[in-house]
Amino acid sequence: MSNLPGSDVGLLARLLQFAVRGYQLFLSPYIGWSCRYQPTCSAYMMEALARHGAIKGGWMGFKRIMRCHPWGGHGYDPVPGCGCEQNKAPSEDHNPRITALSSCK
């Protein structure tokens, strides 16, 4: 099994991605650019489904869409990652080179 995001996406997640892609191609151009976040809500949903699957990714995308309104937040809001701690400063007993080369599992 590969460690790439979206490499083991289930059938339900693929169907949801297909629906989101349909929205991006056919409805979004007519609705206009109204998303308050970066990446857009549809791009967020696609990535969340690819990283976390249909249930968790779908729930994350749904919550994001519910936050996208004039009284909600705005700005950069990426999909939470796979839980890697790569951005932490290495402690003294760890080799920083090894820490930087570690990958998500």
Residue 56 falls inside a structural domain: yes
Cβ–Cβ < 8 Å for 57, 48? yes
Residue 33 falls inside a structural domain: yes
- Number of folded domains that form the chain: 1
pLDDT value of residue 81: 84
Averaged pLDDT score across all residues of the chain: 78
Residue 59 falls inside a structural domain: yes
pTM: 0.69
Cβ–Cβ < 8 Å for 27, 65? no
Q: Which residues contact 85 (CB under 8 A, 6 or more apart)?
A: none
Q: Which domain holds residue 33?
A: 9-67
Residue 78 falls inside a structural domain: no
Residue 49 falls inside a structural domain: yes
- Among residues 13, 19, 20, the alpha carbon closest in space to that of 41 is found at 20
| Averaged pLDDT for residues 77-99 | 57
- 9-53 pLDDT, tens per residue? 799 999 999 999 999 999 988 887 778 899 999 999 999 999 999
Q: What angle do CA 5, 33, 54 make, to 5 degrees?
A: 30
CA distances from 100 to 51, 76, 83, 96 (A): 21, 24, 15, 6
